[in-house]
Structure 1
Amino acid sequence: MRKALILALVLLLAGCSGGDTDKTPPPTPSPDLSGRPAAVATNAGPFESGPVVAPARGALVGAWIKPDELTHVGRLAAVGSLESDLGRKLSIVNTYRRFEQMVGTPSDREFLAQGATLMVSWATGDNRSILDGEHDDLIRKQAKAIRKIHKPVLLRMRWEMDRPNLRATMWSAGDYIAAWKYVRNIFKQEHADNASWVWCPTAEGFIRGDAPGFYPGDDQVDWTCVDVYAGELFQPIGQLMGPFLEFAAKHPKPIVIGEFGVAKAWGSAGRAAWLRDAERTFKANPQIKAIAYFESDPEGNPITKQFQLTGDRQAFKAFHALATDPYFNP
């Protein structure tokens, strides 16, 4: 009887433990973040990178920094604050645009005037409506806007196109490739030849195996790219993007890590260790010519999808060490 009561009490306590699962990550074995990078796969070049020329050695450092307000002043303040904390200018400023939002805003021009390269993450729409010609005027307008800034731009046309939640507008890999070629041809007609075309799926898409099917071809792509996060899975960055690196090594293109981040869920020490391993991995893969951190805590995201480093002294120190390393200041 006594054993039955104890068992019932244990089951009751287990059932009541509850808690907010958004704040606590699932248990994951601690990875080895101190040794050799988990993946090395490199094309020795030479690389065909388009107007944005890849450095001969080392890699450019950039970021997306979510501003307090999506205004000219807000964008400048966000980037300026991170640059001040790092003690250096960013080589790349990532910026997101909806289909109808044009490049060439006052803040865009200010970043360019300061010597940064814009990486424009452009959320183009439904691929079949693009192919039906429904957005030709909008695409031409964007091509002209990019041409008029007279500076090389990294253009991520519909980044993360392999995400399952985008399938309704991507339709298929074939539709995406056809839309890519259609849009790029309009840019050619408008002489917007200052854009380097960046193809950027997710690391998960390479792990699943479906991302490579979206590749438009070496004649269409200037930079290969991947977005990779230690979010709900805490694994070394090399392990997370290993399948991508193997794919990219087969193509004579420089690599940009379009977004990378390590979630707050993994604690300051874990985040710092992950970033130090990321630095080693980037250096061990010299085909990687640019990296851009995702310095943001998107509103409404659980702690496994919050990546801002500012305010986390230990993690930021690791990123600061990366950003000020001569290798990342070519």
Structure 2
Amino acid sequence: MVRRSPFGRPVPQLRIRRPRILLLTVLALALVSALGFVAAGSDDSGGGAGAGPFPSLFPSLAPRPAPTGTAVAQVDRKAVVHPDGLLFGVSTPKGPNQAETDEVAAAAGERPTVQEYFVKWNEEFDPDTVERSYELGAVPLLTWEPWAGGDQNVDQPQYALRRITSGAHDGYLTRFAQGVKAQGQPVVLRFAHEMNADWYPWAQGRNGNRAGDYVAAWRHVHDLFRDEGVTNVVWFWCPDAVGDSEADPAGYYPGHDYVDWIGTDAYSTGDESAERTLQATYDALTAIADKPIFIGETSVKPGEHRTDWTSELFVWLRSHPKVIGFCWFQHNKEGRGRYDWRFTTSADSQRAFSTGLATQRLADWPLRAAS
């Protein structure tokens, strides 16, 4: 389980089809191996300095841009809540970003259909970011953090949960809600994630937060959006994966009428399998509610288990159909990562990811609702 410290107009793209990209990947890998450009071995390579956001293992596979002038698809909220296929999400340092998305798509063999990014409560709603996500062919997943940021600065009493419930931030919340409503497209809103851990200001015990305060704050925010007539939000409740110090998430659940997705953030820092990382939390979540499950953040620390863990993740996903999607945390130490979480740090881990992703029944863009 990770102990992270808190930290301080593209055109639409067509989805890459698997057979072509897998064939190209194999041919490219064989070619560069023969020329000696890909070193055999270690899964701890970590990428090279100055290589940009992701190592360019397969630069020739960058997807071609779609023709200009393609209209951005209007997506039905129901198709986000219950998609007809697995959602492949990604969080990148500058995301939603055209170049970063193209690199992920080239390495993964598929374009992501979810783009996750982070917004603090000293930042206003930005409709351009939502539009950019849709132009890239992905639903925006906005992780909305009630604090002003700052590395390890969890003492921010101005954002105490009781202040949120009391209406101290209603002016900001109203502006944000009106912005989401005016933008029109569905937005997945992940409010105050990992609340059952202790490293954020909204954790129980921080800033005077008491048992029950989190649920009350969530309901207050949800109800304010409802009163503003906002109908295009997908409410995503996302505790941290159950571990040694994380509390049982059940006590933080806002209630069935207040949540559309449930899920978790789950990283491996040494687990041999994804099942070991995810299964206990999956069991806890399904005991709480019968809701679509989305893995809000996931990855595996570089090391001897990285390739096997990555491969096993996709086996685990296929055997758990309640899980409708996942978001890979494509960040390194220079970004938001405690470790280099990118699946592109070596040829082995990249191959495990793209091969595993190709086994999934992925959602097409624009999204359609499950029948």
TM-score tier by shorter-chain length is 0.7 to 0.9
- Alignment match, 2:278: 241
For 1:279 and 1:237, the matched residues in 2 are separated by: 9
| Change beyond 3 A, Cα 1:281–1:151 | same
The answer (yes or no) to whether the contact 2:236–2:259 under 8 Å persists in 1 is yes
User: Which structure is higher in helix share?
Assistant: 1
Secondary structure at the counterpart of residue 90 of structure 2: strand
- 1:210-265 deviations in whole A, cap 9, x for unaligned? 3221111111111001000012x32422222222211222322000000000011x
Given the alignment of the two structures, is residue 284 of structure 1 paired with residue 319 of structure 2, yes or no?
yes
Query: Displacement, 1:109?
Result: 0.8
Query: Displacement, 1:174?
Result: 0.6
For 1:173 and 1:228, the matched residues in 2 are separated by: 24
The answer (yes or no) to whether the contact 1:236–1:274 under 8 Å persists in 2 is yes
Of 55, 60, 70 in structure 1, the residue corresponding to residue 87 of structure 2 is 60
Given the alignment of the two structures, is residue 196 of structure 1 paired with residue 231 of structure 2, yes or no?
no
- Alignment match, 1:152: 186
Write out the 4+ residue segments of structure 1 that deviate beyond 6 Å after TM superposition: none
Query: Displacement, 1:158?
Result: 0.7
Question: Which amino acid counterpart does residue 305 of structure 1 have in structure 2?
Answer: Y
For 2:183 and 2:294, the matched residues in 1 are separated by: 22
Of 168, 177, 185 in structure 2, the residue corresponding to residue 134 of structure 1 is 168
The answer (yes or no) to whether the contact 1:51–1:195 under 8 Å persists in 2 is no
- 1:172-226 deviations in whole A, cap 9, x for unaligned? 3410000000000110111111011100011135984432211111111110010
The answer (yes or no) to whether the contact 2:196–2:248 under 8 Å persists in 1 is yes
For 1:297 and 1:103, the matched residues in 2 are separated by: 26
What TM-score do you get using the length of structure 2 for normalisation? 0.67
Query: Displacement, 1:76?
Result: 2.9
For 2:251 and 2:243, the matched residues in 1 are separated by: 10
Task: Name stretches of at least 5 consecutive residues in structure 2 with no aligned partner.
Answer: 1-43, 45-76, 147-158, 365-371
- Alignment match, 2:251: 213
What TM-score do you get using the length of structure 1 for normalisation? 0.75
| Change beyond 3 A, Cα 1:65–1:318 | same
- Alignment match, 2:293: 255
- Alignment match, 1:81: 103
- 1:265-297 deviations in whole A, cap 9, x for unaligned? x14xx2111011110111100000011100111
- Alignment match, 1:321: 355
Of 123, 126, 130 in structure 2, the residue corresponding to residue 108 of structure 1 is 130
Query: Displacement, 1:103?
Result: 3.4
Secondary structure at the counterpart of residue 229 of structure 2: coil
| Change beyond 3 A, Cα 1:286–1:214 | same
Give the root-mean-square deviation of aligned CA atoms: 2.5
The answer (yes or no) to whether the contact 2:293–2:324 under 8 Å persists in 1 is yes
Question: Structure 1 stretch 233-242 or stretch 127-136: which is displaced more?
Answer: 233-242
Given the alignment of the two structures, is residue 296 of structure 1 paired with residue 334 of structure 2, yes or no?
no
Question: Which amino acid counterpart does residue 289 of structure 1 have in structure 2?
Answer: I
The alignment-based identity, stated in percent, is: 25
